[in-house]
Structure 1
Amino acid sequence: MEKWFNVGKIVNTQGIKGEVRVISKTDFPEKRYKPGNILFLFMPKTNSPIELTVKSHRTHKNFELLTFEGYTNINEVEKFKEGILKVPESQLEELNEDEFYYHEIIGCLVATTHGEELGKVTEILSPGANDVWVIRGKGGKDILIPYIHDVVKKVDVKEKVILIEPMEGLLS
């Protein structure tokens, strides 16, 4: 079964020539929205996606503005509002060493380098210079782990295990 990954949400139309406003959810907008690239539109309450080929892309304020081949006016794209643009797993890019997709990290078991199991990663926050991994600890208490080399020592996404060396005060 194919896995799908969100790249953006169509929130409105722009003008009358078939352009849509997208709130982007991808780290690679220049690749995902490049003319000729294929995206799949999933509408609420439907299971089968609409295949769309990007015709044009530009950025305006906080939005990515896209047009799709075969859709030339507002009436044809009005129905796309609230739809989620996705790509299949086969379109995911190879990442550099020490870079991971969120879906690879969420669900991983986190343990200290001394063997103490802390819990599983439940979400990833991106507040600033580095990501923060939220681990659901024993007793339901959340532990926040900064994704920095001083703390995160080993990430094995195949085995779904992360080893950390907690800084002083991190686990208290």
Structure 2
Amino acid sequence: MAKLSPLETKIMSDTMIKIGQILAPQGVRGEVRVMPLTDFPERFKTLKVAHLDDGTNLQVESVRYHRQFVLLKFSGLDNRNMVEQLRHKMIEIERKDLMPLPEGHYHVFDIIGLSVYNEQDEFLGKISDILQTGSNDVYIVEQQNKQPLLIPGLKSVVLQIDIAAGKMIVKLQEEWE
């Protein structure tokens, strides 16, 4: 079904999506070590301006990769002391700048919060989390006064996802209800 990003579940504000967190300065020449919060770390190669969660915009001078980190150098910040105050800041992009996903694939933050209905249009609950099992995702649906419902992210079970309407339609097996 959907290939969902495990790193993007708690990274969206109303209009901005966090794609990385500045962890610490790297070396003495003004680079910072960034933990990417995206399944597309190559996106940093095309990043011209880093929008930080405090409203600061920094011109990106260079990008390189080291192990699981992205190393960024910002124009005008040329030593360790100048970038020290950036520690723990988040790098954000606008929703319109998200990497396009293939048909039938969704971002985790678009799925969480969807209202779930069965084929008879009966409300089952809202998706509160997503388990990534390896073979398929499992949607956790919080039900009122009941145990959470676990719905496998399979095409035979998830009949429709309408992000714009905030709705998912599923076909449940009798023993799940």
Determine whether 1:158 maps to 2:164.
yes
- Quote the residue 2:25 is aligned against: 13
- Residue 50 of structure 1: how far off its partner (Å): 0.9
Superposed counterparts of 1:80-119, under 5 Å: 80-119=86-125
CA distance in 2, matches of 1:35, 1:72: 21
What is the TM-score with the length of structure 2 in the denominator?
A: 0.80
Contact 1:112/1:166 (<8 A) preserved: yes
Gaps of 5+ in 1: 43-47
Gaps of 5+ in 2: 1-13
Identity score, percent: 33
CA-based RMSD of the aligned residues comes to 2.3
Residue 105 to residue 134, structure 1, CA distance change in 2 (3 Å): same
Task: Output the amino acid matched with 2:28.
Answer: I
Determine whether 1:40 maps to 2:40.
no
- Quote the residue 2:66 is aligned against: 60
91-100 or 126-135, which deviates more: 126-135
After superposition, the C-alpha distances for 1:38-68 in whole angstroms (9 at most, x for unaligned) are 22112xxxxx411123322222233222222
Task: Output the amino acid matched with 2:49.
Answer: I
Residue 69 to residue 145, structure 1, CA distance change in 2 (3 Å): farther
Contact 2:40/2:99 (<8 A) preserved: no
Task: Output the amino acid matched with 1:30.
Answer: E
What is the TM-score with the length of structure 1 in the denominator?
A: 0.83
Task: Give the length in aligned residue pairs.
Answer: 165
Residue 167 to residue 67, structure 1, CA distance change in 2 (3 Å): farther
After superposition, the C-alpha distances for 1:114-139 in whole angstroms (9 at most, x for unaligned) are 33321011223334343332211121
The higher relative CO (CA closer than 8 Å, separation ≥ 6) is in 2
Residue 114 to residue 6, structure 1, CA distance change in 2 (3 Å): same
SS at match of 2:83: helix
